[in-house]
Amino acid sequence: MSDRKPDEGGIAVIGLGRFGSHLAESLSALGREVLAIDRDAQQVQKWSPMLDQVAQADATDEGALRQLGVTDLGRAVVAIGASVEASVLTVLALVELGVPQIWARATSGQHAKILSSVGAHHVIFPEAETGERLAHLIISRMLDFVEFGEAFAVARIRVPPSLLGRPTSEIRLLDRYGVRIIGIRRPGEDRYRYVSDGLEFAEGTVLIVEGTIEQVQRFSTLT
């Protein structure tokens, strides 16, 4: 089994319909290695000039996914929308291959329940997500992400391990990352509050931070 963390390495995007292709383009624009897979030869031909790696394959076939090197990737997104059966079987194949982080597109509440029950770690509804926003969530540890304009963002992030046990009075140490913490929710609390001195960043603490998109993204990947 690979020692690579789920948020490292390449990302497989399975299904090159409108949503999958937009997501693959957004991930590529963020500098990530993308392996795009579709069973339709016309879709593969269409997107081959625009994406680094595009392969024609039946993603429900575990052997085909293994041959393409999906087992070497930390994340996979099942963007199939036309067939519930194909999306579920693809998730099952990825689970069997041991892919650490599986995101799957759902077309209904029932579909979402099935995807979760067979092993999808994150279920998404494209109608409520843009490709750009989802791309940022996939490549980081952010729990939520809102972009304002072309550069500014607010994100909900679990406290990075390197900050655990530190008092909030040391919040000035975050200046080097360029982000500002505007809210905090500690374990056992049901609401966010403003940061005050005397608190410690405990395991399970969730922060709301603001900054440029690049700063927020960089802060979310701290170890």
Query: Between residues 150 and 214, which one has the greater pLDDT?
Result: 214
| pLDDT surpasses 70 at 163 | yes
Q: Can you point out the beta strands (E) in the chain? A: 11-14, 34-38, 53-56, 75-78, 101-105, 122-124, 142-148, 152-158, 180-185, 206-212
Please state, in angstroms and rounded to a whole number, the distance separating the CA atoms of residues 85 and 80.
Answer: 10
| pLDDT surpasses 50 at 3 | no
Q: Which amino acid is at 168?
A: T
Query: Between residues 149 and 134, which one has the greater pLDDT?
Result: 134
Query: Between residues 133 and 66, which one has the greater pLDDT?
Result: 66
Please state, in angstroms and rounded to a whole number, the distance separating the CA atoms of residues 99 and 102.
Answer: 7
Q: How many CB atoms lie within 10 A of CB 127?
A: 7
Percent of the chain with pLDDT over 90: 34
In the block, which residue shows the tokens 């993603």?
59
Question: What strands lie across the sheet with 180-185, from one edge to the other?
Answer: 142-148, 152-158, 206-212, 180-185
The mean pLDDT value for 148-176 works out to 70
Please state, in angstroms and rounded to a whole number, the distance separating the CA atoms of residues 135 and 26.
Answer: 6
Structure tokens at 82: 């036309």
Q: Which amino acid is at 86?
A: A
Please state, in angstroms and rounded to a whole number, the distance separating the CA atoms of residues 223 and 221.
Answer: 6
State the pLDDT at residue 156. Answer: 79
What's the Cα-to-Cα distance from 173 to each of 67, 150, 168, rounded to whole Å?
46, 26, 10
State the pLDDT at residue 115. Answer: 92
The crossing angle, in degrees rounded to 10, of helices 18-29 and 131-138 is 60
State the pLDDT at residue 1. Answer: 39
